Structure 1
Amino acid sequence: MPDSPAASGPSPQPSRASRRRWRRMLADEREEAKVYRDLASRRSGDEREILLGLADAEERHVAHWARLLGDDAEPAGRGSLRMRLLAWLGRRFGSVFVLALAQRAETRSTYRRDVDATPAMAADERIHEEVVRGLAVRGRARVSGTFRAAVFGANDGLVSNLSLVLGVIGGGASRATVLLTGLAGLLAGALSMGAGEYVSVRSQRELLAASAPDVSDASRVLPQLDVDANELALVYRARGLSAEEARSRAEEVLRSSDPALAVAATNPVPEGHDVVGSSLGAATSSFLFFASGALVPILPFLVGLSGGLAVAVSGVLVGIALMLTGAVVGVLSGGPPLRRALRQLAIGGGAALVTYALGVLFGATVG
């Protein structure tokens, strides 16, 4: 058996490095608890309760590090730059972006390797990761339609207009021609994207509406159905239930004192409308973000630059914008932001180089 604390003598004093680490952990946990409480103040219902539960759990971790530090727990100082940035974003932006960042923060927890953290704390962080992932999925679902249109609109504007501009530059066009081509591409692309997104989302919503169960008329005839010989079970089977589940639900409905109310209560609620988003919102986002993306490649020409300098500045600006959109997609999708940013840059740069080469080839052929 291990020696008792009395027999083993006084515990060795922790090193200065250990105490600094404990203070950093304490400050980070306080910042994280604050993030969850700030997010909870903007939510209601079960999401608010979940976020407050996460904040309470982080406070338990705060208490652990405070116990280790003893009298040195105060003042704990400020948390890491990452946690302070997360807290700042939590106070100023919606929960979707912040929860995606919080998910990555929980994923990077070092408690499983930290000798001073308890196994329960390590387990907490692993569970917190799944809880935050679930909340982030809810948030992504609420904005997915409009967000998708915004991101794809900006990315398409950047890549397509840069490619268009470089194509005509490669063909030897003048600055005025390049500028006119870029502005025409901006307007035509933005209108096309907006109209296409409106039709696409509107069609999706109409398809979902057509697929939603209509119980208004069917409910009226339920009391007249033969309890022993009817096709109500086939309705539930057509909606995806197994034969046994469909038969059980049909019997439950028909043996109810009010079958019409029973079928309404047991009818699955159609999902998908919120995920698809608003057709007008998606179209507006697509139009505005495409236009803003398409404006970037022609900014140098609008301010009077020309030649190689304009091309270089345009390429740098578009490259930065592509990396930003890629990083945002990475954060919100739970993926590595840098990898997504570089992938976006490579795709956009490749498309631009191909069109420039074609422009040079076409210009040489025509000339």
Structure 2
Amino acid sequence: MKTSKVHLAAKTGSYDIFIGKNIARELPAQLKTLKIAESIFLISDPKVFGLHGNRLLSALKNAGISNIGTALFGRGEENKSWKNYEKLINNLIDFDFGKKNKITVMALGGGVVGDMAGFIASVYRRGLPFVQVPTTLLSAVDSSIGGKTGIDYERNGKVIKNILGHFYQPRLVCMDTEFLKTLEDKEIKNGLSEIIKYGIIKNSALFYYLKRNLSKALKKDSEILTYLIRESCKIKRNVVQLDEKETKNIRTILNFGHTIGHAIEGASNFRVSHGQAVAIGMICETYMANEMGLIDKASCKEIESVIENTGLPVKTSACGIKDVMHIMKYDKKFQSGKNKFVLPVKIGKVCVKTGIPESMILNSLKNRITKN
């Protein structure tokens, strides 16, 4: 299968996103071309490193890249913490001590690893080159692209997601589709949640392609997944190029389902995964749009049906409405005390609305957030 390439030209840095089978072995040559192959500080988690770490290290060492440091931290959103940030920074200082070579930070893993590694790369010595090697479908289509980095922070017993972070573009993204073969089914579903989002916000053809090929996608069909990843990357690339740092109200559309979704994640202490939370968030925000007269009921039901057929939840008992509403107030999109939501007008088009009455938000959560 031919390697696909999507080029992203951001104001703060342009880079290529490579998508293909067994392309991790081409990564050393790409690093050398970019002149960022002198020293590699690899950040991963124990499970991913156990599955793919030796293969990647062998590819680097066989290409003559031997100055490599490795740091691992726990899996899951609950580990994207200040405590682990401090631990990894200390690991990097130990690796860096006495070296004259420029270090490149490389993330091998899913979105948690990528967000943490990118944040570390952005602040250490005022910025180190950063490379993303995503190993999940979710990170391949979302967090590895566009330059958002960040860590979560706990305050008053509640975790605020991505409250600390930078926009910091990677120098390269290498998406080897062979990595996806080791994913559990739930991780494929998490990634498909974001792909459904892309179809709803910008590309109805992608939405209906996934709907037609859903069973193949769930079975990890390489050709289907490669197409879904490539088209999703193109959508995010186009949006990021127009509004890299979310200052023009354009990039905001990528947050469809995320305003409520992030709040569900935090309120559940991450018992609800990102993809699951976004799925529920998309349904809530779609029915909110229907109540406002923005989208017809048939489209609402079609969106909910595709989400449910993917095997994603349409409601949760892992958190209560009160906690979801509380955490939502910390959403970074909210300005001057006004809420901001991305709402669908039809499949393939969304709009941004502010100042939505609390009663309408509560109504959208009713029957979806079921914990008393």
Mark yes or no: TM-score above 0.5. Answer: no
Larger radius of gyration: 1
Return the structure number with greater relative CO, CA threshold 8 A, min gap 6. 1
Q: When you count helix as a share of all residues, which structure comes out higher?
A: 1
Q: When you count strand as a share of all residues, which structure comes out higher?
A: 2
TM-score range for the pair, normalised by the shorter chain length: under 0.3
